[in-house]
Chains A and B, each alone.
Chain A
Amino acid sequence: MKKGLLYLMGVLVFLVLAACTANESTGTENKNGEGEKAGDEKILQLNNGEEPTSFDPAIGFDNVSWNALNNLMEGLTRLDEDHTPQPAVAEEWDVSEDGTTYTFYLREDANWSNGDPVVAEDFIFAWERLLNPKTGSSAGFLGYFIKGGEAFNSGEGSTDDLGITAVNEKTLEVELENPTGFFLHVLTNPAFFPVNHQVAADNSEWHAEAESFVGNGPFQLESWEHDNEMMFTKNDAYWDADSVNLDGVHWAMVNDTNTEYQMFERGELDSAEIPAELSDQLIDGDNVQVVDQGGLEFFRFNVTEEPFQNKNIRKAFALAVDQENITEYVVKNKVKPAYGYISPGFTNPSGEDFRDVNGDLVSFDPEEAKQLLEKGMEEEGYDELPTVTLSYNTSDLNKEVAEAIQGMFSENIGVDVELENTEWNVFLEDQKALNHQLSRSSFLYDYADPVNFLESFITGSYMNRTGWSNEQYDQLIANAKSEADEGKRWEYMYEAEKLLAEEVPLFPVRYYNQVEVLQEGVTKILRHPVGYLDLKYADKQ
Chain B
Amino acid sequence: MSRGTWLVGRLLQIIPTLLLIGVVVFVLVHLLPGDIVTSMLGDHATKQAVANLRRSLGLDRTLAEQFVLFVRNALRGSFGDSLAHGIPVARLIAQRLPVTAMLTAMAVVIAVVLAVPLAFVAALRAERAPDIAIRVAFQVGLSSPIFYVGLVLLSVFAAWLRWFPVGGYGSGFLDHIYHLILPAFALALSLSAILMRNLRAAILGVIRAEYVDFARAKGIAARLVLFRHVLRNALIATVTLLGLSIGSLLGGAVVTETVFAVPGVGRLMVDSIFARDYPVIEALTLILAVVVSITFLATDILQMVLDPRIGR
Q: Do A and B bind each other?
A: no
A-side residues, CB < 8 A to B, are none
B-side residues, CB < 8 A to A, are none
